[in-house]
Amino acid sequence: MFTENEIAPLASIEEWEDDVLIRYPEPNKPAKTKEEYRNYNTPQRDTVKEFYRLNHTYQTYDFVSAKEADFLKFDKKEMRVWDACDFLNTLVDDSDPDTDLDQLQHLLQTSETIRADGHPDWFVLTGFLHDLGKVLCLFGEPQWAVVGDTFPVGCKHSDKIVYSEFFEANPDSQDARHNTKYGVYEPNCGLRNVHMSWGHDEYLYQMLKDYLPEPALYMIRYHSFYAQHREHAYDHLMDAHDHAMFEWVDKFNPYDLYSKVPVPPNVKELKPYYEDLIAKYLPETLRF
Ligand SMILES: [Fe+2]
Ligand SMILES: [Fe+2]
């Protein structure tokens, strides 16, 4: 259905997060010049743009419904949680072995920074798990249906979404059911009633929703929803409870984006702690 270039426009899925960092640089740090960001103004930025073109063109209400119907059956694989992290780690970036962290290192850097700040253990666990949904890539899903900024489908696309001009090619933009401010939704209906573009956030949320405290679930489900947690573009769909819970999403985001520690976490040393934490909250195996 999609060509190889459409499935994997990015050399690695980290290129998306590198680009998010350009949009949202770390506050209170001297601003980097564009030249200091690797790959800025290079062909790799064009691949990010192409990635968003595909994402914004193909993530329709019907596309999301079809992915939900397929993946929320969780009939693809059953794994122990730690083994799933190892599995995710097979998603290696062969384009830039020196600079890119592997997936497990990103998870551990996020969770260890949360732990060092003295947060509750379920928050630490959330940091450790938050990108586990990226295993979708290993099931052959296109990159633009796994990572990238997420946004509501079934209503008008906000112009605060990055590269929003590409939504012109999205069939929902011409569909009277889906192109009004509220579309298929009611004003302030609450995000629990809103379908988000399909990706690793929603997938992992659905997998873990019975096991973690609600703030953790909000962090997982909406961590890529930059149009809301950074740009506040969808207040009209949110209710008071969403607003209260988004304080946690805001708290989580800097750990995801900026937790680069000088010494990489020692996986072997940390494994027993995380195995205990997993056992405290989650079943022995998860179904993917
Ligand atoms: Fe993520
Ligand atoms: Fe992440």
The Å distance, Cα 251 to ligand 2 centre, comes to 14
Element (H, E) at 78: strand 78-80
The string of pLDDT tens digits covering residues 106-161 is 999 999 999 999 999 999 999 999 999 999 999 999 999 999 999 999 999 999 99
Q: What are 10's two structure tokens?
A: 């990015």
The answer to pTM > 0.85 is: yes
Q: Which of 42, 40, 35, 2 is nearest to 19 (CA)?
A: 40
Q: What is the pLDDT of residue 97?
A: 43
- Within a 13 Å sphere around the CA of 206, how many CA atoms are in the beta-carbon half? 19
Determine the distance separating the centroid of ligand 1 and the alpha carbon of 176, expressed in angstroms.
32
- Cα atoms in the 13 Å half-sphere on the side-chain side of 246: 21
CA 220 – CA 130 distance, rounded (Å): 6
Ligand in nearest proximity to the CA of 256: 2
Q: How far is the CA of 153 from the centre of ligand 2 (A)?
A: 22
By the 8 A CB rule, do 225 and 201 touch? Answer: yes
- CA of 94 relative to ligand 1 center, distance in Å: 20
Give per-residue pLDDT as tens, 40-71. Answer: 456 667 899 999 999 999 999 999 999 999 99
Tell me, in angstroms, the distance from the centre of ligand 1 to residue 105's CA.
13
- For 217-234, the pLDDT digits (tens) are 999 999 999 999 999 999
Expressed in angstroms and rounded, the spacing between residue 275 Cα and the centre of ligand 1 is: 21
Closest-lying ligand to the alpha carbon of 223?
1
For the cut 50, the answer to whether the pLDDT of residue 95 exceeds it is no
Q: Per residue in 2-48, pLDDT tens?
A: 999 999 999 889 889 889 998 999 988 766 555 555 544 566 678 99
Q: Where are the domains of the chain?
A: 4-287
| H or E segment to which residue 79 belongs | strand 78-80
Compute the C-alpha angle 50/19/36, nearest 5°.
Answer: 125
In terms of Cβ atoms closer than 10 Å to its own Cβ (0-12, 13-18, 19+), residue 59 is buried
CB 201 within 8 A of CB 126: no
Percent of the chain with pLDDT over 70: 92
The Cα–Cα gap between 167 and 55 comes to 9
Place of tokens 């302030």: 188
